[in-house]
């Protein structure tokens, strides 16, 4: 893709970014970062400046870039720069930008070549750039100078790796043409993080500074030391050009002239230079954009479909149209009625999984809460028996009754029935509260119209309160109906006759008691499960009543109190036989212990109902004080106790019938008078009452939030459509460039290994191939063909004979000690003399300096 095509892509991408900004979705199109990696003074900053088109980076010899520079290019109408450490300050003069970079570097690293991994963040706003991130990294070095730490090589390496390990980072591996490419640390680092070579582009700089008669043609043609994406040669401005204020445009023209005029590069001039490097990067950016767009398209289309239905209602929206308001009011009231009924009757739409609500909660009130309230209304046994005793005595008056009075039964039953009013009215209150909560939940959909929502809640809530009074009146009426007539002929009622028949086998009481007068030698006091009937007192090992220990007949038995011992916490009473016989085995008394005096009194009352009377000798000690309203827990009259027991059981039987009836009728009454009535009211009366309550225009006034939402939805809809159009335009205006096929770049991994001393060892390649020069003291140099169109032919050896041995140095590519080498350049490789290689082997030009070392 050419620069013209990229210029067409920039506004399209910017339009897409604007569409994303309108959607409130930033950074959706994150373009790749571009990091330049290379040694010191390799020309990294110049390559970066050429790509940006601005002269703003520091220059000099040695290590100049001593902190990473993260440069963010941002599309903007104005052109200026901002530093993160200088918030709010805009730089329009890029010379000032350079000075600020130098000053900020010195502030952190000092003035003596120190380095730091803390990046300098610079943003450049311009209408001529894409939203990219460019990273200028310190040059790779091995020998510390100035204030640099001893592990300078490791620190710079880790600093570079922090950036180039990201999959979204393109690596420009910059290597000068006048150094040994096979030892390029930049290419080695790139190989580690990008083994497939898809993100690495080789950049060869300083082609104009190579020795006369040498060139890098084989490297640039990707024949020697190949890379998957190949190499691009560039010619940067020299320090003299920079000092002479030569601008970047003029430098690019000079670069173009150099490649067209050079005999080794003119045939590949269209694939050399900064414009071609920009083209290669543009291809990568375009491929990235095209790879990313399908996901964006799918996401945007999904968003568009999700809001299309809602936006359709907004497209022809006219706020003051009375027809629209009438239609909207009718639709909302109908929807409110449907939602209310669904919440009461149940529906699969919008199921609440967090809590019970609506009909489910009302159902729980009917069948769990209301029965629980009735059960909670348990009778106080002691109080109930006292009330029955007083009722019987008051009915008999001065006379002693021979039979159990019916009137006492009716009086007690009516009193118990009246107690049901409390739970019944409470269930009505719970249902009303849930109905009001349901109305509030249903009016949430009316929140766009605050007055309509408020009026709907008020009208429905008022109607519920009206129905509350009528429902409670009906509930009380049901209770009063039950009180008005006691139906003792009910089929489920036990009745007096049935009760007498089953009385003999009726269990009067069960509970735990301790037999306390068993001697220590016989096991001591022990607890048993006692069962008292009208005929006997039995006790078992436990409450499962499987293993019976003993059954004691009640004939001729009486009960008396036993004084509580000083050391015991138990309360004791005793059973004895009036005929002086043993009660239990060898014991004349059976002493039974309870935990409290109330339990003792209760058991004595139960024994009295079974016909076991207290000892007469104790009767004078137990008197009833009627004047003070205090009574005993049990009566001394056995006949009265039997009558109390009879009425107590008949009350239980009749109240079970009443409870069953009330539990059935109260939910039906609430459902009919309250819930169904409210549903009918909403369906038939709500709309009319809304019209009569306020003016339609007032009811249908939109909230500010709704108006804002409508505008946002319309804007989002247009932005989505615009983004989809731009994506289509980008696909039309651009083409996808497939990645080049893989190449054998294993030379990068083995570039630092010494070759074995063998005639077949591959010679160390270099970029430059100098012309032959005489070497004093070493004899004539072998003749080397002049470079030409077929200069890639293998060299012909001129001195046959045995090969000289390699030096015994750890670096077999180093020069012998007697021959001085230039310290600022990597020494040339030592060629090995061997027969001419096969025609399929790549051609390597022997440099003159290497031949001199022979």
pLDDT confidence bin for 789, thresholds 50/70/90: very low
Return the pLDDT at 628: 41
Q: Is the pLDDT of residue 357 over 70?
A: yes
Cβ distance 54 to 124 under 8 Å?
A: yes
pLDDT band at 316 (very low <50, low <70, confident <90, very high): low
- For residues 647 and 404, what is the distance between their CA atoms, to the nearest angstrom? 8
User: Do residues 743 and 226 make contact, with C-beta atoms less than 8 angstroms apart?
Assistant: yes
Closest CA to 452 of 572, 331, 543, 633: 331
Using alpha carbons, select from 61, 204, 242, 60 the residue that is nearest to residue 824.
Answer: 61
Distance in angstroms (rounded) separating the CA atoms of residues 63 and 68 = 12
Whether residue 823 is predicted with pLDDT greater than 50 in this model: the reply is no
Residue of higher predicted confidence among 138 and 677: 677
Q: What is the pLDDT of residue 424?
A: 93
Mean pLDDT of 419-439: 92
Answer for the pair 223, 842: CB distance below 8 angstroms, yes or no.
yes
pLDDT at 673: 93
Q: Look at strands 571-577 and 589-594 and give their pairing.
A: antiparallel
Q: Which of 141-145, 693-697, 769-773 has the lowest mean pLDDT?
A: 769-773
Pairing of strands 548-553, 536-540: antiparallel
**Sign, Cα dihedral of 52, 53, 56, 59:** positive
C-alpha neighbours within 13 Å on the C-beta side of residue 110 = 9
Q: For residues 204-214, give the mean pLDDT.
A: 86
Look at residue 348 and tell me whether its pLDDT is greater than 80: no
The pLDDT of residue 167 is above 80: yes
**406 or 791: which leads in pLDDT:** 406
pLDDT at residue 503, rounded to an integer: 53
- Listed in sequence order, the DSSP H helices in 685-820 are 686-693, 696-699, 704-733
Tokens of 815: 């020069």
Rg (CA), the chain: 53
pLDDT at 814 over 60: no
In the predicted model, what is the mean pLDDT of residues 568-591? Answer: 85
pLDDT at 500: 53
Q: How far is it, in rounded angstroms, from Cα 360 to Cα 365? A: 9
Q: Which of these, 235, 179, 232, 180, lies nearest to 206 by C-alpha position?
A: 235
Helix (H) or strand (E) holding 80: strand 80-83
User: Under a CB-based contact definition with an 8 Å cutoff, are residues 740 and 284 in contact?
Assistant: no
Sequence-ordered list of residues with C-beta below 8 angstroms from that of 208, at least 6 positions apart, any chain: 235, 258
Assess contact for 421 and 373: CB atoms under 8 A.
no
Query: For residue 537, what are the β-bridge partners?
Result: 532, 552
Mean local confidence (pLDDT), 498-518: 72
Indicate if the pLDDT at residue 840 is higher than 90. Answer: no
DSSP-assigned letters across all residues of 467-492:
HHHHHHHHHHHHHHHHHH---TT-TT
Q: How confident is the model at residue 18 (pLDDT cuts 50, 70, 90)?
A: low
Q: Which two tokens stand for residue 176?
A: 């000068």
CA distances from 106 to 101, 113, 542, 832 (A): 9, 9, 92, 48
List alpha helices for 485-594, DSSP H.
Answer: 495-503
pLDDT at 845: 37
Highest mean pLDDT among 23-37, 158-172, 395-409, 459-473: 459-473
Structure confidence at residue 742 as a pLDDT band (50, 70, 90): confident
pLDDT at residue 837 in the model: 43
Spatial separation of the C-alpha atoms in residues 76 and 567, rounded to whole Å: 98
Share of the chain above pLDDT 70, in %: 75
Instruction: Say if residues 640 and 403 touch (Cβ distance below 8 Å).
Output: no
Q: Which residue has the tokens 């009246």?
A: 418
More confident residue, 733 or 598: 598
First-to-last CA distance in the chain?
49
Average pLDDT over residues 56-66: 73
CA dihedral 100, 105, 111, 112 (to 10 degrees): -150
Q: Is the pLDDT of residue 431 over 90?
A: yes
Nearest to residue 5, comparing CAs of 737, 813, 587? Answer: 737
464-491: average pLDDT = 91
The C-alpha angle 71, 76, 78, rounded to 5 degrees, equals: 100
How much is the pLDDT for 679? 92
Q: Which two tokens stand for residue 359?
A: 């009909």
- pLDDT above 90 as % of the chain: 9
Confidence label for 596 from pLDDT (cuts 50, 70 and 90):
confident
- Mean pLDDT (the chain) is 75
Confidence of residue 10 (pLDDT cuts 50, 70, 90): low
**Average pLDDT value for residue range 521-529:** 69
Confidence of residue 432 (pLDDT cuts 50, 70, 90): very high
CA dihedral over 41, 45, 50, 56, signed as positive or negative: negative
- List residues bridging with 550 in a β-sheet: 539
CA 221 to chain centroid, in Å, comes to 52
Chain center to CA of 459? 42
SS3 390: helix
Q: What is the DSSP string of 255-299?
A: HHHHHHH-TTTGGGGGG-SHHHHHHHHHHHHHHHHHHHHHHHHHH
CA pair distance 239, 700, nearest whole angstrom: 75
How does pLDDT run across 264-294, given as a tens digit for each residue? 898 988 889 888 888 888 787 777 777 777 8
- Dist CA 614 CA 689 (whole Å): 75
The two tokens of residue 143 are 């020998």
Contact call for residues 94 and 81 (beta carbons, < 8 A): yes
- Beta bridge partners, 411, equal none
C-alpha to C-alpha distances, 558 to 441, 519, 580, 609, 621, nearest whole angstrom: 69, 23, 11, 12, 16
Supply the pLDDT for residue 408.
Answer: 78
Whether the pLDDT of residue 633 is over 50: the answer is no
Q: How far is it, in rounded angstroms, from Cα 477 to Cα 681?
A: 24
- Tabulate helix, strand, coil % of the chain (nearest 5): 45, 10, 40
Lowest mean pLDDT among 107-116, 304-313, 500-509, 657-666: 500-509
Q: Which residue has the higher pLDDT, 318 or 26?
A: 318
Q: Name which of 221-230, 601-610, 734-743 the model is least confident about.
A: 734-743
Residue pLDDT, tens place only, 360-389:
889 989 988 888 888 777 666 677 777 777
């Amino acid at each position: 893709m050419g620069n013209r095509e990229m210029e067409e892509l920039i506004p399209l991408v910017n339009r897409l970014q604007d569409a994303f900004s309108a959607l409130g979705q930033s950074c959706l199109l994150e373009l790749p970062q571009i990091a330049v990696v290379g040694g010191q003074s390799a020309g990294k900053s110049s390559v970066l400046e050429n790509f940006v088109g601005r002269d703003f980076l520091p220059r000099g010899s040695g290590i100049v870039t001593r902190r990473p520079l993260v440069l963010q290019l941002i599309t903007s109408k104005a052109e200026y720069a901002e530093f993160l450490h200088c918030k709010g300050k805009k730089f329009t003069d890029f010379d000032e930008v350079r000075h600020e970079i130098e000053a900020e570097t010195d502030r952190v690293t000092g003035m003596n070549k120190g380095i730091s991994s803390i990046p300098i963040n610079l943003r450049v706003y311009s209408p001529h750039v894409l939203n990219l991130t460019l990273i200028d990294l310190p040059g790779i070095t091995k020998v510390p100078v100035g204030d640099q730490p001893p592990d300078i090589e490791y620190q710079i390496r880790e600093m570079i790796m922090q950036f180039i390990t990201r999959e979204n980072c393109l690596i420009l591996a910059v290597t000068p043409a006048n150094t040994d490419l096979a030892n390029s640390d930049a290419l080695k680092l790139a190989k580690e993080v990008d083994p497939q070579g898809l993100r690495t582009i080789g950049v060869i700089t300083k082609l104009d500074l190579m020795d006369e008669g040498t060139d890098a043609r084989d490297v640039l043609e990707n024949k020697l030391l190949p890379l998957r994406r190949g190499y691009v040669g560039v010619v940067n401005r020299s320090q003299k050009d920079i000092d002479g204020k030569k601008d970047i445009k003029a430098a690019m023209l000079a670069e173009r002239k150099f490649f067209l005029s050079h005999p080794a590069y003119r045939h590949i001039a269209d694939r050399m230079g900064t414009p071609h490097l920009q083209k290669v990067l543009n291809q990568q950016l375009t491929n990235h954009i095209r790879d990313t767009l399908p996901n964006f398209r799918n996401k945007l289309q999904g968003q568009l479909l999700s809001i299309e239905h809602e936006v359709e209602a907004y497209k022809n929206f006219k706020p003051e149209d009375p027809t629209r308001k009438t239609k909207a009011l009718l639709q909302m009231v109908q929807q409110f009625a449907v939602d209310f009924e669904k919440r009461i009757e149940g529906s699969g739409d919008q199921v609440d999984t967090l809590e019970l609500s609506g009909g489910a909660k009302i159902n729980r009130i009917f069948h769990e809460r209301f029965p629980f309230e009735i059960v909670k209304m348990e009778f106080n046994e002691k109080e109930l028996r006292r009330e029955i005793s007083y009722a019987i005595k008051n009915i008999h008056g001065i006379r002693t009754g021979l039979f159990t009075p019916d009137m006492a039964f009716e009086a007690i039953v009516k009193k118990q029935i009246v107690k049901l009013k409390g739970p019944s009215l409470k269930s009505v209150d719970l249902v009303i509260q849930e109905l009001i909560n349901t109305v509030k939940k249903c009016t949430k959909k009316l929140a766009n119209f605050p007055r309509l929502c408020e009026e709907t809640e008020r009208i429905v809530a008022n109607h519920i309160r009206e129905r509350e009074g009528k429902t409670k009146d009906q509930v009380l009426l049901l209770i009063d109906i039950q009180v008005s007539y006691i139906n003792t002929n009910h089929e489920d009622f036990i009745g007096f006759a049935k009760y007498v028949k089953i009385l003999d086998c009726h269990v009067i009481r069960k509970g735990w008691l301790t037999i306390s007068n068993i001697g220590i030698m016989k096991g001591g006091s022990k607890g048993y499960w006692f069962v008292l009937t009208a005929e006997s007192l039995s006790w078992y090992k436990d409450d499962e009543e499987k293993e019976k220990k003993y059954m004691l007949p009640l004939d001729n038995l009486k009960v008396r109190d036993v004084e509580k011992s000083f050391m015991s916490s138990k309360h004791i009473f005793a059973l004895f036989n009036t005929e002086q016989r043993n009660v239990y085995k060898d014991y004349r008394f059976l002493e039974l212990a309870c935990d409290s005096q109330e339990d003792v009194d209760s058991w004595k009352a139960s024994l009295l109902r079974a016909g076991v009377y207290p000892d007469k000798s104790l009767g004078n000690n137990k008197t009833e004080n009627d004047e003070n309203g205090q009574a005993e827990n049990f009566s001394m009259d056995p006949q009265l106790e039997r009558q109390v027991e009879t009425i107590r059981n008949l009350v239980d039987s009749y109240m079970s019938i009443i409870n069953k009836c009330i539990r059935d009728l109260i939910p039906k009454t609430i459902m009919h008078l309250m819930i169904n009535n409210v549903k009918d009211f909403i369906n038939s009366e709500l709309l009319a009452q809304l019209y009569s309550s306020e003016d339609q225009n007032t009811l249908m006034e939109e909230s500010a939030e709704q108006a804002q939402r409508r505008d946002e939805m319309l804007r989002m809809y247009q932005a989505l459509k615009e983004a989809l159009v731009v994506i289509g335009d980008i696909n039309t205006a651009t083409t996808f460039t497939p990645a080049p096929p893989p190449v054998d770049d294993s030379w990068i991994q083995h570039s630092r290994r010494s070759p074995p001393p063998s005639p077949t060892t591959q010679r160390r390649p270099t970029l430059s191939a100098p012309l032959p020069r005489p070497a004093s003291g070493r004899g004539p140099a072998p003749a080397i063909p002049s470079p030409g169109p077929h200069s890639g032919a293998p060299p012909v050896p001129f001195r046959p004979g045995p090969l000289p041995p390699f030096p015994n140095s750890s670096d077999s590519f180093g020069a012998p000690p007697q021959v001085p080498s230039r310290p600022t350049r990597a020494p040339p490789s030592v060629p090995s003399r061997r027969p001419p290689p096969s025609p399929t082997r790549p051609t390597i030009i022997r440099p003159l300096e290497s031949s001199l070392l022979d």
